[in-house]
Structure 1
């Protein structure tokens, strides 16, 4: 009798989860379609302001505050709260901009003064090298500023790319998210067991592979981030060990008036062991150190709301 009740309870929980998931997916689809009907800049302003009010009521507020206190022990309570408000604002704006991925990237190389995107001259030189050198490349990014735009920028200006992404847990939302991303992001590779093989194949075909590398990865390698040990996904370094190619970082920083600044780092030299092979852990530490430098410059634009240290 008890076993039958337990099984019935599990079935009910699964059914409820399915119903909630479908409802949440439908809501996400509706919100994204609705957002596309409005001006991107005004929508970003609205959702940025909305998340400044709603964010502090959510459980992630405590996670973000704890992370910031650990990373910046020298900052006052008021400074920590100001950064957190910026984090929520950036998250709201990024969500609104996601619905307009096919139009948010607004950069005209012939008339940069009229463009919404600002690109440093050196970054333009580096991008041109990636286009013309005939080599594949690995490009990492982080959840900073608008983290969807580096992949959009690459495709918009003729770079053949493959991008690793994580599927949403809700199936209906996954469909609309993939539909929006596929418009401007080149080949999309969903995270999973086959992803390393697909990304390695993309590199062998001469493509430029991009991925976000700043979240916790349970089976990752130890790296130091803001003075504390955390786990980093070693996939980037493992691909580099298989296929020797240039390694760069990319970021798109949010500027006032709904504009952005896009940057590519200089080529990053991977660490090598005594035998000359790519050192996986040391290379991921070098990448993590670059990201830490970025975050220190604009801490209010990084996603502090997940448990980076565990």
Structure 2
């Protein structure tokens, strides 16, 4: 039942103008903001202040905007059936040449991205621009929502695989596909690598650097940001080389640290668009 209700809601939203959907999404998120747990909001404010050195008022503003943006983002996903028809007008891509050059090597590519901007839209925009994108998904607890979001990811052109199917990722990379990995959330201490992030020891996922190292290619940091006119811009950076020495762990740390530096800079430029509500340093405190 949930699946059909969300599909029905999507049909209704697709009948509305984009700007109205943005306004409705923001209004919905603003209404829900007071109901977010105080502990979670406090965490977001503290992380903003620690990373950006902002005062209490600015930290509160950034934390709130970071949460409120999920309203318009949700409505954009619901509007995928409309957006996909004019994706090139809706999303600008900067640095596409880095991706094309990488694909010419015949080994596929790895994009390290983050929970910043509308990352769901990013994969679809690259797919519609002609890039074969593998979206790596986390299985949702609600089967109906898992079905819905993956159908809409496929609608905009992505191939979806779950994050535990690493063999499929490598198999498709050999055929020239691009793996997009979200690489900015906390993981367990056993699997993660500790790197510097905003001056703090931070547990990071090794996936992007590890996959690129195995394939003998570099990692392309890439992020999406929302422009003032409501459209979006994807920024793809030059590939980060991954060393291939006898010390695999050290190689991964070297490349991962370089990716972190680029992500840091992106967050400083677009602080309201990162997911500050996530406890980025949880495993470091356990």
Q: TM (normalized to structure 2)?
A: 0.86
Query: CA contact under 8 A between 2:213 and 2:242: conserved in structure 1?
Result: no
Hey, what's the Cα distance between the residues in 1 that align with 2:224 and 2:234? 4
- Give the equivalent residue in structure 1 for 2:139: 167
Hey, what's the Cα distance between the residues in 2 that align with 1:238 and 1:127? 18
Whose Rg is larger? 1
Please list every run of 5 or more consecutive structure 1 residues that lacks an aligned counterpart in the other structure: 1-21, 109-114
Q: Aligned pair in 2 of structure 1 residues 56, 257: CA closer, same or farther (>3 Å)?
A: farther
- Give the equivalent residue in structure 1 for 2:229: 257
Hey, what's the Cα distance between the residues in 2 that align with 1:124 and 1:137? 12
CA deviation profile, 1:202-222 (whole Å, cap 9, x unmatched): 112221111111111113111
Aligned: 1:100 with 2:72: no
Q: Aligned pair in 2 of structure 1 residues 286, 37: CA closer, same or farther (>3 Å)?
A: same
> In the alignment, which of 32, 44, 65 is matched to residue 22 of structure 2?
44
Using the TM superposition, give the Cα deviation of residue 288 of structure 1 relative to its aligned residue in structure 2, in angstroms: 1.9
Using the TM superposition, give the Cα deviation of residue 188 of structure 1 relative to its aligned residue in structure 2, in angstroms: 0.6
CA deviation profile, 1:281-310 (whole Å, cap 9, x unmatched): 222222222211111111101011111111
Q: Aligned pair in 2 of structure 1 residues 275, 281: CA closer, same or farther (>3 Å)?
A: closer
Aligned: 1:90 with 2:69: yes
> In the alignment, which of 35, 43, 47 is matched to residue 57 of structure 1?
35
Query: CA contact under 8 A between 1:52 and 1:86: conserved in structure 2?
Result: no
Q: Which moved more, 1:137-146 or 1:125-134?
A: 125-134
Q: How many residues are aligned here?
A: 277
Hey, what's the Cα distance between the residues in 2 that align with 1:130 and 1:100? 32
RMSD: 2.4
Hey, what's the Cα distance between the residues in 1 that align with 2:232 and 2:19? 12
Using the TM superposition, give the Cα deviation of residue 173 of structure 1 relative to its aligned residue in structure 2, in angstroms: 0.9
Using the TM superposition, give the Cα deviation of residue 147 of structure 1 relative to its aligned residue in structure 2, in angstroms: 0.9
SS at match of 1:222: strand
> In the alignment, which of 216, 223, 227 is matched to residue 195 of structure 2?
223
Hey, what's the Cα distance between the residues in 2 that align with 1:26 and 1:133? 43
Q: TM (normalized to structure 1)?
A: 0.80
> In the alignment, which of 165, 169, 172 is matched to residue 202 of structure 1?
172
CA deviation profile, 1:76-108 (whole Å, cap 9, x unmatched): 111112212321232111111111234436454
CA deviation profile, 1:234-263 (whole Å, cap 9, x unmatched): 122221222112321211111112111221
SS at match of 2:150: helix
